[in-house]
Chains A and B, each alone.
Chain A
Amino acid sequence: MLEVDGINAFYSDFHVLHDASLKVNKGELVAVAGANGHGKSTLLKAICGLTPIKSGGIRFNGSDIAGLKAPQLVGQGLVYVAEDRRLFPDMTVLENLQLGAYLPAARAAEKHNLDRVFSLYPRLAERRNQLCRSLSGGEAQMVALGRGLMSDPTLLAIDEPSLGLAPNLTKTMLQTVSQLNKDGLTVLIVEQSLALLKGMIDRVYSIEEGVLRETDTDNMQEVL
Protein backbone atom coordinates (compact mmCIF):
# COMPACT_ATOMS: atom_id res chain seq x y z
CA MET A 1 0.00 0.00 0.00
CA LEU A 2 2.82 2.38 0.95
CA GLU A 3 6.35 1.98 -0.34
CA VAL A 4 9.03 4.41 0.73
CA ASP A 5 12.21 4.00 -1.26
CA GLY A 6 15.44 5.61 -0.13
CA ILE A 7 14.19 9.05 0.81
CA ASN A 8 16.43 11.84 2.07
CA ALA A 9 15.18 14.85 3.98
CA PHE A 10 16.96 17.97 5.22
CA TYR A 11 16.29 20.98 7.41
CA SER A 12 18.39 23.63 5.63
CA ASP A 13 21.63 21.68 5.32
CA PHE A 14 21.04 19.39 8.29
CA HIS A 15 20.59 15.88 6.87
CA VAL A 16 17.83 14.15 8.87
CA LEU A 17 16.64 11.12 6.88
CA HIS A 18 19.30 8.96 5.22
CA ASP A 19 18.03 6.75 2.37
CA ALA A 20 15.06 5.71 4.46
CA SER A 21 13.01 2.85 3.05
CA LEU A 22 9.95 1.15 4.46
CA LYS A 23 6.85 -0.68 3.39
CA VAL A 24 3.34 -0.90 4.79
CA ASN A 25 0.96 -3.50 3.41
CA LYS A 26 -2.80 -3.11 3.39
CA GLY A 27 -4.31 -3.93 6.78
CA GLU A 28 -1.00 -3.90 8.66
CA LEU A 29 -0.05 -2.05 11.80
CA VAL A 30 3.58 -1.08 11.35
CA ALA A 31 5.64 0.68 14.00
CA VAL A 32 8.76 2.81 13.82
CA ALA A 33 10.68 3.06 17.06
CA GLY A 34 13.55 5.33 17.97
CA ALA A 35 14.83 7.76 20.55
CA ASN A 36 14.33 11.52 20.74
CA GLY A 37 15.43 13.52 17.74
CA HIS A 38 16.32 10.62 15.47
CA GLY A 39 13.90 11.66 12.73
CA LYS A 40 10.65 9.82 13.47
CA SER A 41 8.40 12.83 13.02
CA THR A 42 10.35 13.94 9.98
CA LEU A 43 9.80 10.51 8.43
CA LEU A 44 6.02 10.64 8.88
CA LYS A 45 5.81 14.27 7.78
CA ALA A 46 7.87 13.55 4.68
CA ILE A 47 5.58 10.65 3.77
CA CYS A 48 2.45 12.75 4.38
CA GLY A 49 3.61 15.75 2.37
CA LEU A 50 4.20 18.08 5.29
CA THR A 51 7.95 18.41 4.84
CA PRO A 52 9.82 18.18 1.53
CA ILE A 53 12.14 15.34 0.52
CA LYS A 54 15.26 15.93 -1.52
CA SER A 55 15.47 12.54 -3.19
CA GLY A 56 13.92 9.09 -3.18
CA GLY A 57 10.53 7.71 -4.09
CA ILE A 58 7.21 7.29 -2.32
CA ARG A 59 4.38 5.23 -3.75
CA PHE A 60 0.88 5.05 -2.30
CA ASN A 61 -1.71 2.64 -3.72
CA GLY A 62 0.55 2.16 -6.73
CA SER A 63 0.94 5.81 -7.70
CA ASP A 64 3.94 8.05 -7.23
CA ILE A 65 3.23 10.61 -4.50
CA ALA A 66 6.73 12.00 -3.89
CA GLY A 67 6.54 15.79 -3.99
CA LEU A 68 2.78 15.97 -3.45
CA LYS A 69 1.62 18.19 -0.59
CA ALA A 70 -0.59 17.16 2.31
CA PRO A 71 -3.87 18.60 0.95
CA GLN A 72 -3.55 16.35 -2.11
CA LEU A 73 -2.58 13.29 -0.06
CA VAL A 74 -5.37 13.68 2.48
CA GLY A 75 -7.79 13.41 -0.42
CA GLN A 76 -6.17 10.09 -1.36
CA GLY A 77 -6.62 8.70 2.15
CA LEU A 78 -3.12 9.29 3.57
CA VAL A 79 -3.62 11.20 6.82
CA TYR A 80 -1.19 12.40 9.51
CA VAL A 81 -1.96 12.71 13.23
CA ALA A 82 0.62 15.01 14.82
CA GLU A 83 2.51 14.34 18.07
CA ASP A 84 1.74 17.91 19.13
CA ARG A 85 -1.97 17.46 18.23
CA ARG A 86 -2.16 20.60 16.09
CA LEU A 87 -5.77 21.28 17.05
CA PHE A 88 -7.48 24.60 16.33
CA PRO A 89 -7.50 25.97 19.88
CA ASP A 90 -10.25 28.58 19.55
CA MET A 91 -12.67 26.25 17.87
CA THR A 92 -14.94 23.72 19.48
CA VAL A 93 -14.39 19.98 19.54
CA LEU A 94 -17.16 19.60 16.96
CA GLU A 95 -15.65 22.21 14.63
CA ASN A 96 -12.25 20.53 14.86
CA LEU A 97 -13.84 17.21 13.93
CA GLN A 98 -15.84 18.79 11.10
CA LEU A 99 -12.65 20.28 9.69
CA GLY A 100 -11.24 16.76 9.48
CA ALA A 101 -13.92 16.22 6.83
CA TYR A 102 -13.02 19.43 4.95
CA LEU A 103 -12.34 17.80 1.58
CA PRO A 104 -15.28 16.67 -0.60
CA ALA A 105 -14.50 12.94 -0.41
CA ALA A 106 -14.45 12.96 3.39
CA ARG A 107 -17.47 15.24 3.56
CA ALA A 108 -19.56 12.59 1.86
CA ALA A 109 -18.82 10.28 4.81
CA GLU A 110 -18.90 13.03 7.46
CA LYS A 111 -22.08 11.96 9.24
CA HIS A 112 -21.04 8.33 9.42
CA ASN A 113 -17.52 9.13 10.62
CA LEU A 114 -18.76 11.57 13.23
CA ASP A 115 -21.03 8.91 14.70
CA ARG A 116 -18.07 6.56 14.68
CA VAL A 117 -15.80 9.01 16.50
CA PHE A 118 -18.47 9.82 19.08
CA SER A 119 -19.15 6.16 19.75
CA LEU A 120 -15.42 5.58 20.07
CA TYR A 121 -15.12 8.56 22.43
CA PRO A 122 -18.45 9.40 24.12
CA ARG A 123 -16.49 11.96 26.10
CA LEU A 124 -16.02 14.03 22.95
CA ALA A 125 -19.75 13.93 22.27
CA GLU A 126 -20.32 15.37 25.75
CA ARG A 127 -17.75 18.08 25.15
CA ARG A 128 -18.58 18.83 21.54
CA ASN A 129 -19.16 22.54 22.24
CA GLN A 130 -16.08 23.05 24.37
CA LEU A 131 -13.14 25.02 22.96
CA CYS A 132 -10.12 22.84 22.31
CA ARG A 133 -7.76 25.17 24.17
CA SER A 134 -9.47 24.10 27.40
CA LEU A 135 -9.20 20.34 26.88
CA SER A 136 -6.99 18.06 28.96
CA GLY A 137 -4.05 16.35 27.26
CA GLY A 138 -5.93 13.08 26.98
CA GLU A 139 -9.01 14.72 25.49
CA ALA A 140 -6.89 16.71 23.05
CA GLN A 141 -5.28 13.47 21.84
CA MET A 142 -8.77 12.00 21.36
CA VAL A 143 -9.73 14.98 19.20
CA ALA A 144 -6.47 14.68 17.23
CA LEU A 145 -7.12 11.02 16.47
CA GLY A 146 -10.82 11.68 15.90
CA ARG A 147 -10.05 14.50 13.47
CA GLY A 148 -7.74 12.15 11.58
CA LEU A 149 -10.53 9.57 11.34
CA MET A 150 -12.92 12.25 10.06
CA SER A 151 -10.66 12.60 7.00
CA ASP A 152 -11.74 9.06 6.09
CA PRO A 153 -8.19 7.67 5.89
CA THR A 154 -7.11 4.41 4.36
CA LEU A 155 -3.68 4.78 5.95
CA LEU A 156 -3.32 6.69 9.19
CA ALA A 157 0.17 7.86 10.18
CA ILE A 158 0.17 8.44 13.92
CA ASP A 159 3.05 10.32 15.51
CA GLU A 160 3.84 9.43 19.14
CA PRO A 161 0.28 9.36 20.50
CA SER A 162 1.71 8.71 23.97
CA LEU A 163 3.51 12.07 24.08
CA GLY A 164 2.50 13.92 27.23
CA LEU A 165 -0.05 11.29 28.28
CA ALA A 166 -0.18 9.38 31.57
CA PRO A 167 0.64 5.66 31.16
CA ASN A 168 -2.96 4.48 31.63
CA LEU A 169 -4.22 6.96 29.02
CA THR A 170 -1.48 5.88 26.63
CA LYS A 171 -2.57 2.29 27.07
CA THR A 172 -6.22 3.08 26.23
CA MET A 173 -5.13 5.18 23.28
CA LEU A 174 -3.00 2.38 21.83
CA GLN A 175 -5.76 -0.17 22.39
CA THR A 176 -8.06 2.08 20.38
CA VAL A 177 -5.50 2.26 17.59
CA SER A 178 -5.17 -1.52 17.64
CA GLN A 179 -8.94 -1.90 17.47
CA LEU A 180 -9.15 0.50 14.51
CA ASN A 181 -6.50 -1.59 12.79
CA LYS A 182 -8.45 -4.79 13.44
CA ASP A 183 -11.48 -3.08 11.91
CA GLY A 184 -9.53 -2.62 8.70
CA LEU A 185 -7.54 0.63 9.00
CA THR A 186 -3.91 0.45 7.92
CA VAL A 187 -1.69 2.16 10.49
CA LEU A 188 1.87 3.45 10.54
CA ILE A 189 2.74 4.45 14.08
CA VAL A 190 5.81 6.05 15.62
CA GLU A 191 6.78 5.61 19.27
CA GLN A 192 9.82 5.89 21.48
CA SER A 193 8.96 2.83 23.51
CA LEU A 194 7.48 -0.30 22.02
CA ALA A 195 6.65 -1.90 25.35
CA LEU A 196 3.04 -0.79 25.19
CA LEU A 197 2.65 -1.81 21.55
CA LYS A 198 3.63 -5.40 22.21
CA GLY A 199 1.25 -7.89 20.67
CA MET A 200 -0.43 -5.30 18.45
CA ILE A 201 2.19 -4.76 15.76
CA ASP A 202 2.68 -6.70 12.55
CA ARG A 203 6.15 -5.39 11.79
CA VAL A 204 8.60 -2.92 13.29
CA TYR A 205 11.42 -0.70 12.10
CA SER A 206 14.02 0.97 14.21
CA ILE A 207 15.28 4.43 13.38
CA GLU A 208 18.66 5.67 14.47
CA GLU A 209 20.12 8.97 13.31
CA GLY A 210 17.77 8.93 10.35
CA VAL A 211 18.65 5.39 9.29
CA LEU A 212 15.75 2.92 9.13
CA ARG A 213 16.14 -0.82 9.69
CA GLU A 214 13.47 -3.48 9.77
CA THR A 215 13.68 -5.54 12.95
CA ASP A 216 12.14 -8.70 14.22
CA THR A 217 9.15 -8.00 16.47
CA ASP A 218 10.40 -10.70 18.85
CA ASN A 219 13.70 -8.92 19.27
CA MET A 220 12.25 -5.49 19.53
CA GLN A 221 13.23 -5.11 23.15
CA GLU A 222 16.82 -5.29 22.01
CA VAL A 223 16.24 -2.41 19.69
CA LEU A 224 15.50 -0.12 22.55
Chain B
Amino acid sequence: MTQILEILISGITQGAVYCVVAVGLSLVYGASRILNFAHGSLYSLGGFLAWYLVAGGPGLPLWLVVLLVLPVLALTGIGIERAIIRPLRGSDNWKINTIMVTLGLAFIIENGLQLVFGPGTRTIAPFVEGSLSVGGITITWYKLSIFVISLALVGALEFFLSSTRYGQAVRAVSQDMQGANQVGINVNQIFGLTFALSVVLTGIAGILLAPVFLVSPLGGWVPFLKAFVIVVLGGLGSTKGAFVAAFILAVLEAFVIFYIGPSWAMPAWLLMLIIVLMIRPKGLFGVWEN
Protein backbone atom coordinates (compact mmCIF):
# COMPACT_ATOMS: atom_id res chain seq x y z
CA MET B 1 0.00 0.00 0.00
CA THR B 2 2.75 2.45 0.98
CA GLN B 3 4.53 1.34 -2.15
CA ILE B 4 1.60 2.18 -4.33
CA LEU B 5 1.12 5.55 -2.63
CA GLU B 6 4.78 6.34 -3.13
CA ILE B 7 4.59 5.53 -6.84
CA LEU B 8 1.43 7.59 -7.13
CA ILE B 9 3.06 10.60 -5.47
CA SER B 10 6.14 10.25 -7.62
CA GLY B 11 3.91 10.25 -10.69
CA ILE B 12 1.92 13.27 -9.58
CA THR B 13 4.99 15.38 -8.81
CA GLN B 14 6.48 14.44 -12.17
CA GLY B 15 3.18 15.19 -13.89
CA ALA B 16 3.24 18.81 -12.78
CA VAL B 17 6.56 19.46 -14.51
CA TYR B 18 5.48 17.64 -17.67
CA CYS B 19 2.45 19.86 -17.57
CA VAL B 20 4.62 23.00 -17.65
CA VAL B 21 6.41 21.81 -20.80
CA ALA B 22 3.15 20.68 -22.41
CA VAL B 23 1.10 23.84 -21.77
CA GLY B 24 3.93 25.82 -23.32
CA LEU B 25 3.71 23.74 -26.48
CA SER B 26 -0.08 23.89 -26.41
CA LEU B 27 -0.21 27.66 -25.95
CA VAL B 28 1.67 28.35 -29.17
CA TYR B 29 -0.26 25.70 -31.06
CA GLY B 30 -3.57 27.08 -29.82
CA ALA B 31 -2.85 30.65 -30.87
CA SER B 32 -1.05 30.10 -34.15
CA ARG B 33 -1.54 26.40 -35.07
CA ILE B 34 2.24 26.05 -35.10
CA LEU B 35 3.81 22.91 -33.72
CA ASN B 36 7.14 24.19 -32.44
CA PHE B 37 9.65 21.39 -33.00
CA ALA B 38 12.30 23.42 -31.17
CA HIS B 39 10.30 23.28 -27.94
CA GLY B 40 12.45 20.46 -26.53
CA SER B 41 15.71 22.09 -27.60
CA LEU B 42 14.62 25.24 -25.81
CA TYR B 43 14.06 23.08 -22.73
CA SER B 44 17.70 21.96 -23.02
CA LEU B 45 18.78 25.55 -23.60
CA GLY B 46 17.18 26.52 -20.27
CA GLY B 47 18.98 23.67 -18.54
CA PHE B 48 22.37 24.60 -20.00
CA LEU B 49 22.01 28.31 -19.27
CA ALA B 50 21.24 27.45 -15.67
CA TRP B 51 24.07 24.92 -15.47
CA TYR B 52 26.52 27.51 -16.76
CA LEU B 53 25.41 30.19 -14.30
CA VAL B 54 25.28 27.82 -11.35
CA ALA B 55 28.16 25.43 -11.89
CA GLY B 56 30.04 26.51 -14.99
CA GLY B 57 31.21 30.07 -14.38
CA PRO B 58 29.67 32.69 -12.09
CA GLY B 59 28.50 30.20 -9.45
CA LEU B 60 25.20 31.93 -8.71
CA PRO B 61 22.45 30.41 -6.55
CA LEU B 62 19.77 28.58 -8.51
CA TRP B 63 16.87 30.82 -7.47
CA LEU B 64 18.74 33.90 -8.73
CA VAL B 65 19.60 32.08 -11.95
CA VAL B 66 15.93 31.37 -12.58
CA LEU B 67 15.14 35.08 -12.22
CA LEU B 68 18.00 36.06 -14.54
CA VAL B 69 17.22 33.48 -17.19
CA LEU B 70 13.51 34.36 -17.29
CA PRO B 71 13.85 37.54 -19.40
CA VAL B 72 16.44 35.84 -21.63
CA LEU B 73 13.98 33.05 -22.38
CA ALA B 74 11.15 35.52 -23.01
CA LEU B 75 13.27 37.51 -25.44
CA THR B 76 14.35 34.30 -27.16
CA GLY B 77 10.68 33.46 -27.73
CA ILE B 78 9.90 36.91 -29.10
CA GLY B 79 12.99 36.73 -31.30
CA ILE B 80 12.02 33.34 -32.74
CA GLU B 81 8.54 34.57 -33.65
CA ARG B 82 9.88 37.77 -35.16
CA ALA B 83 12.77 36.25 -37.08
CA ILE B 84 11.51 32.95 -38.45
CA ILE B 85 7.74 32.68 -37.95
CA ARG B 86 6.38 36.09 -38.93
CA PRO B 87 8.13 36.28 -42.31
CA LEU B 88 6.36 33.06 -43.29
CA ARG B 89 2.88 34.24 -42.41
CA GLY B 90 0.55 34.35 -45.36
CA SER B 91 2.88 32.23 -47.46
CA ASP B 92 1.50 29.19 -49.27
CA ASN B 93 2.04 25.97 -47.31
CA TRP B 94 2.67 28.00 -44.20
CA LYS B 95 2.07 25.00 -41.96
CA ILE B 96 4.72 22.86 -43.60
CA ASN B 97 7.08 25.83 -43.69
CA THR B 98 6.77 26.43 -39.96
CA ILE B 99 7.49 22.77 -39.29
CA MET B 100 10.64 23.00 -41.41
CA VAL B 101 11.94 26.19 -39.79
CA THR B 102 11.25 25.12 -36.21
CA LEU B 103 12.87 21.76 -36.90
CA GLY B 104 15.84 23.65 -38.36
CA LEU B 105 15.94 25.83 -35.28
CA ALA B 106 16.00 22.73 -33.07
CA PHE B 107 19.09 21.47 -34.91
CA ILE B 108 20.77 24.86 -34.68
CA ILE B 109 20.19 25.09 -30.92
CA GLU B 110 21.35 21.51 -30.34
CA ASN B 111 24.51 21.95 -32.37
CA GLY B 112 25.12 25.31 -30.76
CA LEU B 113 24.88 23.73 -27.31
CA GLN B 114 27.17 20.92 -28.38
CA LEU B 115 29.69 23.40 -29.76
CA VAL B 116 29.73 25.51 -26.62
CA PHE B 117 29.32 22.90 -23.89
CA GLY B 118 30.46 19.70 -25.58
CA PRO B 119 28.36 16.59 -26.09
CA GLY B 120 28.45 15.34 -22.49
CA THR B 121 25.72 15.49 -19.88
CA ARG B 122 25.57 17.94 -17.01
CA THR B 123 23.70 18.22 -13.76
CA ILE B 124 22.90 20.91 -11.22
CA ALA B 125 22.74 20.39 -7.46
CA PRO B 126 19.19 20.83 -6.15
CA PHE B 127 18.51 24.01 -4.20
CA VAL B 128 17.18 22.06 -1.22
CA GLU B 129 18.56 18.86 0.20
CA GLY B 130 16.97 16.18 2.32
CA SER B 131 13.55 14.64 2.21
CA LEU B 132 10.24 14.51 3.93
CA SER B 133 8.93 11.30 5.50
CA VAL B 134 5.31 10.93 6.45
CA GLY B 135 3.80 7.58 7.42
CA GLY B 136 6.56 5.60 5.76
CA ILE B 137 6.34 7.57 2.50
CA THR B 138 9.45 9.47 1.55
CA ILE B 139 9.72 12.31 -0.93
CA THR B 140 12.66 14.64 -1.44
CA TRP B 141 12.12 18.29 -0.59
CA TYR B 142 13.40 19.12 -4.04
CA LYS B 143 10.72 17.09 -5.82
CA LEU B 144 8.13 18.63 -3.57
CA SER B 145 9.38 22.15 -4.37
CA ILE B 146 9.40 21.67 -8.12
CA PHE B 147 5.90 20.23 -7.81
CA VAL B 148 4.73 23.41 -6.07
CA ILE B 149 6.61 25.72 -8.45
CA SER B 150 5.18 23.89 -11.48
CA LEU B 151 1.63 24.10 -10.16
CA ALA B 152 2.16 27.80 -9.47
CA LEU B 153 3.41 28.36 -13.04
CA VAL B 154 0.48 26.54 -14.60
CA GLY B 155 -1.93 28.31 -12.24
CA ALA B 156 -0.45 31.68 -13.17
CA LEU B 157 -0.81 30.88 -16.86
CA GLU B 158 -4.41 29.81 -16.37
CA PHE B 159 -5.14 33.04 -14.48
CA PHE B 160 -3.46 35.07 -17.21
CA LEU B 161 -5.52 33.38 -19.93
CA SER B 162 -8.84 33.56 -18.14
CA SER B 163 -8.71 36.90 -16.37
CA THR B 164 -6.52 39.44 -18.13
CA ARG B 165 -6.98 41.51 -21.29
CA TYR B 166 -3.97 40.03 -23.03
CA GLY B 167 -4.97 36.55 -21.96
CA GLN B 168 -8.41 37.13 -23.43
CA ALA B 169 -6.72 38.34 -26.61
CA VAL B 170 -4.66 35.13 -26.80
CA ARG B 171 -7.84 33.06 -26.60
CA ALA B 172 -9.54 35.33 -29.12
CA VAL B 173 -6.72 34.86 -31.64
CA SER B 174 -6.85 31.10 -31.13
CA GLN B 175 -10.62 30.96 -31.65
CA ASP B 176 -11.07 33.33 -34.58
CA MET B 177 -8.16 35.19 -36.09
CA GLN B 178 -10.26 37.42 -38.34
CA GLY B 179 -12.58 38.19 -35.43
CA ALA B 180 -9.52 39.15 -33.38
CA ASN B 181 -8.39 41.50 -36.15
CA GLN B 182 -11.83 43.05 -36.30
CA VAL B 183 -11.79 44.09 -32.66
CA GLY B 184 -8.34 45.63 -33.05
CA ILE B 185 -6.08 42.90 -31.67
CA ASN B 186 -2.58 43.00 -33.14
CA VAL B 187 -2.24 39.34 -34.02
CA ASN B 188 1.54 39.46 -34.51
CA GLN B 189 1.96 40.91 -31.05
CA ILE B 190 -0.12 38.08 -29.57
CA PHE B 191 1.93 35.47 -31.47
CA GLY B 192 5.08 37.02 -30.01
CA LEU B 193 3.58 36.95 -26.55
CA THR B 194 2.63 33.26 -26.77
CA PHE B 195 6.13 32.37 -28.01
CA ALA B 196 7.67 34.32 -25.13
CA LEU B 197 5.51 32.56 -22.55
CA SER B 198 6.04 29.19 -24.19
CA VAL B 199 9.83 29.44 -24.17
CA VAL B 200 9.79 30.68 -20.57
CA LEU B 201 7.71 27.67 -19.53
CA THR B 202 9.80 25.04 -21.29
CA GLY B 203 13.08 26.70 -20.28
CA ILE B 204 12.09 26.87 -16.62
CA ALA B 205 11.04 23.22 -16.74
CA GLY B 206 14.46 22.41 -18.20
CA ILE B 207 16.07 24.16 -15.25
CA LEU B 208 13.83 22.56 -12.63
CA LEU B 209 14.45 19.09 -13.97
CA ALA B 210 18.20 19.52 -14.42
CA PRO B 211 18.92 18.18 -10.90
CA VAL B 212 16.59 15.20 -11.46
CA PHE B 213 17.34 14.18 -15.02
CA LEU B 214 20.55 15.20 -16.73
CA VAL B 215 21.02 18.04 -19.18
CA SER B 216 22.43 17.19 -22.59
CA PRO B 217 22.36 18.86 -26.02
CA LEU B 218 20.07 16.22 -27.52
CA GLY B 219 18.16 15.64 -24.29
CA GLY B 220 15.24 17.81 -25.36
CA TRP B 221 13.63 15.29 -27.68
CA VAL B 222 12.18 13.12 -24.93
CA PRO B 223 10.46 16.06 -23.20
CA PHE B 224 9.28 17.30 -26.60
CA LEU B 225 7.81 13.93 -27.49
CA LYS B 226 6.19 13.64 -24.08
CA ALA B 227 4.76 17.15 -24.29
CA PHE B 228 3.44 16.33 -27.77
CA VAL B 229 1.71 13.17 -26.58
CA ILE B 230 0.24 15.08 -23.62
CA VAL B 231 -1.05 17.86 -25.86
CA VAL B 232 -2.62 15.46 -28.36
CA LEU B 233 -4.12 13.32 -25.62
CA GLY B 234 -5.52 16.38 -23.85
CA GLY B 235 -6.90 17.83 -27.06
CA LEU B 236 -4.84 20.13 -29.29
CA GLY B 237 -4.70 23.65 -27.94
CA SER B 238 -6.61 22.92 -24.73
CA THR B 239 -4.73 23.99 -21.59
CA LYS B 240 -7.14 22.14 -19.36
CA GLY B 241 -6.67 19.01 -21.47
CA ALA B 242 -2.88 19.27 -21.23
CA PHE B 243 -3.18 19.61 -17.46
CA VAL B 244 -5.28 16.49 -17.03
CA ALA B 245 -3.34 14.46 -19.59
CA ALA B 246 0.02 15.31 -18.00
CA PHE B 247 -1.06 13.81 -14.69
CA ILE B 248 -2.68 10.74 -16.22
CA LEU B 249 0.43 9.94 -18.25
CA ALA B 250 2.93 10.70 -15.50
CA VAL B 251 1.14 8.42 -13.04
CA LEU B 252 0.91 5.73 -15.69
CA GLU B 253 4.61 6.17 -16.31
CA ALA B 254 5.49 5.84 -12.62
CA PHE B 255 3.63 2.54 -12.35
CA VAL B 256 5.01 1.16 -15.59
CA ILE B 257 8.56 2.04 -14.59
CA PHE B 258 8.17 0.35 -11.23
CA TYR B 259 6.37 -2.81 -12.29
CA ILE B 260 7.58 -3.39 -15.84
CA GLY B 261 10.69 -1.30 -16.40
CA PRO B 262 11.78 2.16 -17.58
CA SER B 263 12.04 1.21 -21.24
CA TRP B 264 8.30 0.52 -21.30
CA ALA B 265 7.31 4.03 -20.25
CA MET B 266 7.16 5.54 -23.73
CA PRO B 267 5.40 2.55 -25.34
CA ALA B 268 2.82 2.76 -22.54
CA TRP B 269 2.25 6.46 -23.32
CA LEU B 270 1.78 5.78 -27.00
CA LEU B 271 -0.57 2.88 -26.30
CA MET B 272 -2.63 5.13 -24.05
CA LEU B 273 -2.66 7.79 -26.76
CA ILE B 274 -3.86 5.34 -29.40
CA ILE B 275 -6.63 4.02 -27.16
CA VAL B 276 -7.90 7.49 -26.24
CA LEU B 277 -7.76 8.73 -29.83
CA MET B 278 -9.73 5.70 -30.98
CA ILE B 279 -12.50 6.60 -28.55
CA ARG B 280 -12.18 10.40 -28.72
CA PRO B 281 -10.40 11.50 -31.91
CA LYS B 282 -10.14 15.09 -30.67
CA GLY B 283 -8.47 14.08 -27.42
CA LEU B 284 -9.89 14.45 -23.92
CA PHE B 285 -10.83 18.14 -24.13
CA GLY B 286 -10.34 18.93 -27.80
CA VAL B 287 -12.96 21.30 -29.13
CA TRP B 288 -11.41 23.00 -32.12
CA GLU B 289 -11.79 21.72 -35.56
CA ASN B 290 -9.36 22.97 -38.14
Contact = CB atoms under 8 A, between A and B. Distances in A.
18 contacts: A69-B181, A70-B181, A70-B182, A70-B184, A75-B184, A82-B179, A86-B176, A86-B179, A88-B175, A88-B176, A88-B179, A91-B175, A99-B169, A99-B180, A99-B185, A102-B184, A103-B183, A106-B184
A74 interface: yes
For the complex of A and B, list the 9 residue pairs with the smallest distance between their C-beta atoms, beginning with the closest.
A86-B179, A74-B184, A103-B184, A88-B175, A70-B181, A71-B184, A71-B186, A99-B183, A102-B183
A147 interface: yes
Interface string B155-176: 0000000000100110110011
A92 to B, nearest CB: 11
A99 B168 CA distance: 8
B178 interface: yes
Nearest to B288: A90
A50 B171 CA distance: 20
Interface string A71-96: 10011000111100011111100010
Contacts of B179: 82, 86-88
Given A82-B178, A99-B168, A99-B172, A90 B287 contact: yes
Name the residue among B179, B181, B182, B287 with the largest chain A CB count within 10 angstroms: B182
Contact of B183 (A89, A90, A100): A100
A98 B168 CA distance: 9
Name the residue among B169, B178, B179, B287 with the largest chain A CB count within 10 angstroms: B179
Name the residue among B175, B184, B287 with the largest chain A CB count within 10 angstroms: B184
B182 A91 contact: no
A82 B175 contact: no
Interface residues of B, number: 17
A36 to B, nearest CB: 20
A218 to B, nearest CB: 34
Contacts of B186: 71
Given A88-B179, A91-B175, A99-B185, 7 more contacts: A50-B182, A70-B182, A71-B185, A88-B180, A89-B175, A95-B168, A102-B168
Nearest to A107: B165
A142 to B, nearest CB: 15
Interface in A42-66: 48, 50
B176 A87 contact: yes
B169 to A, nearest CB: 6
B182 A74 contact: yes
Nearest to A79: B182
Nearest to B178: A86
Nearest to B181: A70
B172 A50 contact: no
